[in-house]
Structure 1
Amino acid sequence: MRTFFTSYTLVIKLILLSLFSSPIYAKSGLELAYGFAPAKNSHLRAGDTWRVSYSQPINHFDDFLSQYNINLRLELSAQHWDELGSTNNHVFSLNPMFQYQWHFEPMSVYLELGIGAAYSHNTYYLDRNLGSNWLFEDKLGVGIIINQYHRLGVSIAHYSNADLANHNDGVDSISIHYGYLW
C-alpha cells in the first residue's frame, strides 16, 4: 500500500510540474470545506465530510478563456468521509475546475463547474455501494471572493463510477468552504 501512495504522489508531482511550467497569472489557493453526505435511506444518519484542497491555475488557455471572464484551475483534494459507528473513508481527487466570475469592487461572485477523477479508499460509504475505488467527481459551486484573497462558497459534489462497475449507488456531498488565495 505504501508503494502505491509513493507512486501516486510522484505521478501527481510530475503532472503538476508539466502543467505549470508557464508563468502563473491567476492565484493559487488552499481551501477547507465541511459538509454532509445524505444517506440513501432517509431514516439513517448523514455522514460528515471534510475536504482540504489545493488549487493551481492552468494558464495555457488564458488568451481564449479570459475574454469570457472564465478561469481554469486544477484542484487537488484530500477528503475524509466520516460515518458514525462504521468504517471511515478517505478520498483523493484531481479535478479541472472552470470558474466564471462577475467582478464588483471589492469582491467577485463566481460560479464553478468541474468533472474529474477520484480514488476512494473504501468502496462502501454509509448505506451505499460505490462499486469501485475509482470514481468520477462532478462538482458545482457558487460563492464570493472578497478582496481578491478570501473565497467563501457552497458546493455540491457527486461521486460515482458512471455505471462502469456492477454497483453504482454514488454519493452526493453538500459543503461550505473557505479558501485563501495567494
Structure 2
Amino acid sequence: MRKITIQLLMVMTTILIGVSCTKDKGKIIKDEIDEKNLTPCPEKASCQYLFTEDADLNEAGSGLITGPYRLFWADIQTPGVRTTLYIKAPMEGKTFSFNKQAILDGKVKLIRSCAACLMTPFRLIEDGYVKGINLRPDKQADQTRWLLEAEIILEAIGQPAKRDTLHVKQYFDPNFVFN
C-alpha cells in the first residue's frame, strides 16, 4: 500500500511540474519574427515606420491624440497614393500579438487616400495577424527599436470576391525624444 501511495505521489508531482513549466502561449519569442526579408519600400515611394507612446487616433482616424496605446504607423507614399497602417499596441510589455479578432476590434486601422484616382475602397476583414517585439528592451523608450510583422487581409467594399493582402515586416523607430 505504501509503495502505491509513493508511486501516485511521484506521478502527481511529475504532472504538476510539467504543467507549471509550460511556456506562455501568448508570449512572442524573438525567433518568431525573422529579421530577414523585411518589406522593401516600393520604387519611387517614401516610407516611414514609426511609433509613439501614450497615443491614440482621433475620431476621424487620421490624427494622433493622447491615449492609452503605443501607436505604430507605417506610412507609404507613392506618387498619388498614400497608405497608412496604424497599430494600437499595449503600453506594457516587450512583445505583443494580435489575432483577427483584435484587428476587427479596432486595434488596427488602415487609411488609403488618392486625390485624383478611382480607387476601390477596401476594409479589414476576418483574417490576419500582427506581432511585435522590442529589440532593445534594456534601453529607455526613445532609444528602443521595435520589429513588427503584420499580415492584414482586405476585402473590397461591395465586392467580397475581390481581396488584397497587406504585408508589413519592418523596424519601427521612436517618433519622440525624452532626453
TM-score class normalised by the smaller sequence:
0.3 to 0.5
Which structure shows the bigger proportion of residues in strand conformation? 1
TM-score by length of 2: 0.42
TM-score by length of 1: 0.42
Q: Which has the larger radius of gyration?
A: 2
